[in-house]
Amino acid sequence: MKLNFAHRARLVLAFTIIGAASLTTQNVHAQSPLFQPLYEVLTHPRCMNCHTITDFPRQGDERRRHAQLVVRGADNHGAPTLQCSACHQDENVIDGAVPGAPHWGLAPLSMGWEGLNARELCLVLKDTSKNGNRSLQDLFLHMSEDELVLWGWTPGGNRTTPPLSQPDFVKALQAWVSAGGPC
Protein backbone atom coordinates (compact mmCIF):
# COMPACT_ATOMS: atom_id res chain seq x y z
CA MET A 1 0.00 0.00 0.00
CA LYS A 2 1.26 3.41 -0.92
CA LEU A 3 0.64 6.04 1.71
CA ASN A 4 -0.01 9.60 0.71
CA PHE A 5 1.00 12.52 2.92
CA ALA A 6 -2.36 12.79 4.74
CA HIS A 7 -2.29 9.09 5.62
CA ARG A 8 1.20 9.35 6.96
CA ALA A 9 0.41 12.44 8.98
CA ARG A 10 -2.56 10.64 10.54
CA LEU A 11 -0.40 7.60 11.36
CA VAL A 12 2.24 9.79 12.96
CA LEU A 13 -0.46 11.52 14.97
CA ALA A 14 -1.94 8.19 16.08
CA PHE A 15 1.44 6.90 17.21
CA THR A 16 2.15 10.14 19.02
CA ILE A 17 -1.09 9.81 20.98
CA ILE A 18 -0.48 6.13 21.78
CA GLY A 19 3.07 7.02 22.80
CA ALA A 20 1.91 9.86 25.02
CA ALA A 21 -0.77 7.67 26.59
CA SER A 22 1.71 4.92 27.46
CA LEU A 23 4.11 7.53 28.85
CA THR A 24 1.37 8.85 31.12
CA THR A 25 0.58 5.32 32.31
CA GLN A 26 4.27 4.82 33.08
CA ASN A 27 4.39 8.03 35.07
CA VAL A 28 1.60 6.84 37.34
CA HIS A 29 3.78 3.89 38.38
CA ALA A 30 7.19 5.51 38.17
CA GLN A 31 8.89 6.43 41.41
CA SER A 32 9.88 9.96 42.29
CA PRO A 33 13.42 10.87 41.23
CA LEU A 34 13.68 12.82 44.50
CA PHE A 35 13.25 9.61 46.51
CA GLN A 36 15.69 7.52 44.46
CA PRO A 37 18.90 8.76 46.20
CA LEU A 38 17.23 8.23 49.60
CA TYR A 39 16.22 4.72 48.53
CA GLU A 40 19.82 3.91 47.69
CA VAL A 41 20.92 4.93 51.19
CA LEU A 42 18.05 3.27 53.07
CA THR A 43 18.60 -0.03 51.29
CA HIS A 44 22.36 -0.04 51.98
CA PRO A 45 23.38 -2.90 54.29
CA ARG A 46 24.43 -0.44 57.05
CA CYS A 47 20.76 0.52 57.40
CA MET A 48 19.04 -2.67 56.23
CA ASN A 49 20.89 -4.99 58.63
CA CYS A 50 18.76 -3.42 61.42
CA HIS A 51 15.63 -2.71 59.36
CA THR A 52 14.88 -6.39 58.77
CA ILE A 53 11.58 -8.23 58.58
CA THR A 54 13.18 -11.25 60.25
CA ASP A 55 13.45 -12.31 63.88
CA PHE A 56 17.17 -11.54 63.84
CA PRO A 57 19.60 -8.82 62.70
CA ARG A 58 21.97 -9.28 59.77
CA GLN A 59 25.69 -8.66 59.37
CA GLY A 60 28.07 -7.55 56.67
CA ASP A 61 27.49 -6.42 53.08
CA GLU A 62 26.33 -9.94 52.20
CA ARG A 63 23.70 -9.51 54.93
CA ARG A 64 24.24 -12.93 56.53
CA ARG A 65 22.27 -13.88 59.61
CA HIS A 66 23.78 -12.43 62.83
CA ALA A 67 26.17 -14.89 64.51
CA GLN A 68 25.88 -16.04 68.14
CA LEU A 69 22.21 -16.99 67.54
CA VAL A 70 21.22 -13.41 68.30
CA VAL A 71 17.44 -12.96 68.07
CA ARG A 72 15.09 -9.97 67.90
CA GLY A 73 13.36 -10.64 71.23
CA ALA A 74 10.08 -9.13 72.40
CA ASP A 75 11.44 -5.56 72.59
CA ASN A 76 13.79 -5.68 69.55
CA HIS A 77 16.79 -5.68 71.90
CA GLY A 78 17.50 -9.40 71.97
CA ALA A 79 16.64 -12.33 74.21
CA PRO A 80 16.41 -11.53 77.94
CA THR A 81 19.57 -13.56 78.45
CA LEU A 82 21.48 -12.05 75.51
CA GLN A 83 20.68 -8.39 74.97
CA CYS A 84 22.30 -6.38 72.17
CA SER A 85 23.98 -4.26 74.85
CA ALA A 86 25.91 -7.28 76.12
CA CYS A 87 28.20 -6.70 73.14
CA HIS A 88 27.20 -3.43 71.42
CA GLN A 89 28.42 -0.39 73.38
CA ASP A 90 27.71 3.32 72.87
CA GLU A 91 30.51 3.45 70.31
CA ASN A 92 32.50 1.08 68.12
CA VAL A 93 34.94 -0.94 70.23
CA ILE A 94 37.92 -3.27 69.71
CA ASP A 95 39.07 -1.26 66.66
CA GLY A 96 35.60 -1.45 65.18
CA ALA A 97 35.31 -5.22 65.49
CA VAL A 98 32.15 -4.69 67.54
CA PRO A 99 30.11 -1.82 66.11
CA GLY A 100 28.26 0.39 68.55
CA ALA A 101 26.04 3.43 69.06
CA PRO A 102 23.62 4.45 71.83
CA HIS A 103 20.36 2.43 72.12
CA TRP A 104 21.60 -0.26 69.73
CA GLY A 105 18.68 -2.50 68.78
CA LEU A 106 16.66 -3.75 65.81
CA ALA A 107 14.14 -1.42 64.21
CA PRO A 108 10.59 -2.66 65.01
CA LEU A 109 9.02 -5.01 62.42
CA SER A 110 6.73 -2.22 61.16
CA MET A 111 9.92 -0.41 60.13
CA GLY A 112 11.33 -3.43 58.29
CA TRP A 113 12.13 -2.54 54.69
CA GLU A 114 13.47 -5.75 53.18
CA GLY A 115 12.03 -6.65 49.77
CA LEU A 116 10.34 -3.29 49.11
CA ASN A 117 10.84 -1.36 45.86
CA ALA A 118 11.43 2.39 46.00
CA ARG A 119 7.78 3.38 45.83
CA GLU A 120 6.73 0.81 48.45
CA LEU A 121 9.51 1.81 50.82
CA CYS A 122 8.65 5.49 50.40
CA LEU A 123 4.99 4.83 51.28
CA VAL A 124 5.87 2.71 54.32
CA LEU A 125 8.37 5.33 55.48
CA LYS A 126 5.67 8.01 55.48
CA ASP A 127 2.95 5.79 56.98
CA THR A 128 2.45 7.21 60.48
CA SER A 129 0.87 3.94 61.63
CA LYS A 130 4.21 2.24 60.92
CA ASN A 131 6.96 4.84 61.28
CA GLY A 132 6.52 5.78 64.95
CA ASN A 133 3.96 8.50 64.13
CA ARG A 134 6.56 10.69 62.42
CA SER A 135 5.74 13.62 60.15
CA LEU A 136 7.98 14.40 57.17
CA GLN A 137 9.81 16.92 59.36
CA ASP A 138 10.27 14.28 62.09
CA LEU A 139 11.68 11.90 59.48
CA PHE A 140 14.07 14.61 58.37
CA LEU A 141 15.27 15.18 61.95
CA HIS A 142 15.58 11.47 62.68
CA MET A 143 17.57 10.75 59.54
CA SER A 144 19.87 13.75 59.95
CA GLU A 145 20.52 13.45 63.71
CA ASP A 146 19.73 10.00 65.13
CA GLU A 147 22.83 8.25 66.42
CA LEU A 148 21.98 4.88 64.86
CA VAL A 149 21.51 6.58 61.49
CA LEU A 150 24.76 8.55 61.82
CA TRP A 151 26.58 5.35 62.75
CA GLY A 152 25.99 4.26 59.12
CA TRP A 153 28.73 6.72 58.08
CA THR A 154 31.13 5.77 60.90
CA PRO A 155 30.55 2.02 61.08
CA GLY A 156 34.07 1.04 62.18
CA GLY A 157 36.32 -1.70 60.85
CA ASN A 158 36.40 -1.96 57.08
CA ARG A 159 32.62 -1.75 56.72
CA THR A 160 31.35 0.12 53.67
CA THR A 161 29.25 3.28 53.98
CA PRO A 162 26.08 4.30 52.05
CA PRO A 163 26.46 5.57 48.45
CA LEU A 164 25.86 9.25 49.32
CA SER A 165 28.05 11.14 51.81
CA GLN A 166 26.21 12.08 55.01
CA PRO A 167 25.96 15.82 54.05
CA ASP A 168 24.71 14.88 50.56
CA PHE A 169 22.15 12.56 52.14
CA VAL A 170 20.86 15.47 54.29
CA LYS A 171 20.63 17.66 51.17
CA ALA A 172 18.71 14.97 49.31
CA LEU A 173 16.42 14.56 52.33
CA GLN A 174 15.78 18.30 52.46
CA ALA A 175 14.87 18.36 48.76
CA TRP A 176 12.48 15.43 49.20
CA VAL A 177 10.81 16.89 52.31
CA SER A 178 10.51 20.37 50.71
CA ALA A 179 8.73 18.80 47.74
CA GLY A 180 6.20 17.20 50.12
CA GLY A 181 7.76 13.73 50.21
CA PRO A 182 6.81 12.46 46.73
CA CYS A 183 6.90 8.72 46.17
Smallest separation (angstroms) from ligand HEC to the CB of 62: 9
Q: What sign results for the dihedral spanned by CA atoms 62, 65, 70, 76?
A: positive
Nearer to ligand HEC, 84 or 116 (CB): 84
Does position 162 interact with ligand HEC (CB under 6 A)? The reply is yes
Gap between the Cα atoms of 19 and 171, Å rounded: 35
Give me the amino acid identity at 1: M
Does position 132 interact with ligand HEC (CB under 6 A)? The reply is yes
How deeply is 68 buried, as exposed, middle or buried, from its count of CB atoms within 10 A (0-12, 13-18, 19+)? Answer: exposed
Binding site for ligand HEC (CB under 6 A): 41-42, 45-47, 49-51, 57, 59-60, 66, 68, 70, 77-78, 82, 84, 86-88, 98-99, 104-107, 111, 125, 131-132, 134, 139, 142-143, 148-149, 151-152, 159, 162
